[in-house]
Amino acid sequence: MLAFIMGMLQTYENSHGFRPQLVYLNQKHLTQLLAECPWLNSVDDRPALGFRIVLISEKELPHPKVVWIPPMRRQYSARNKTLEPETLDCDGPYCAAVHH
């Protein structure tokens, strides 16, 4: 499973020019990944994988998926003279930053 995920990350990076930071898995995928890589269960000695895992129901996600989400940016509000974070508009497991 880890080799499959790493292959998906590499394919995405080759296609888009940047590495995704999220991997969507369902419970079966996560169970298989943890069975293959028991060292991921360790909280203290867990190595950085370079991505975060998001658990999604099997009904919504039958196959693993990699995703890149742009970093949150702050907008300057001239009226309030403050920095205001963008809000997130979430549609199921997929979220994107939107401007107001």
Q: Give the pair of three-digit tokens for residue 21.
A: 């930071």
Q: So what's the pLDDT on residue 86? A: 47
Q: So what's the pLDDT on residue 64? A: 96
Q: Does pLDDT of 6 surpass 90?
A: yes
Q: Give the pair of three-digit tokens for residue 94.
A: 């997929």
Please state the domain extents for the chain.
Answer: 1-68, 70-100
Q: So what's the pLDDT on residue 7? A: 96
pTM for the model: 0.67
Q: So what's the pLDDT on residue 40? A: 84
Q: What is the pLDDT of residues 21-67, one digit of tens each?
A: 999 999 999 999 999 998 888 767 666 788 899 999 999 999 999 99
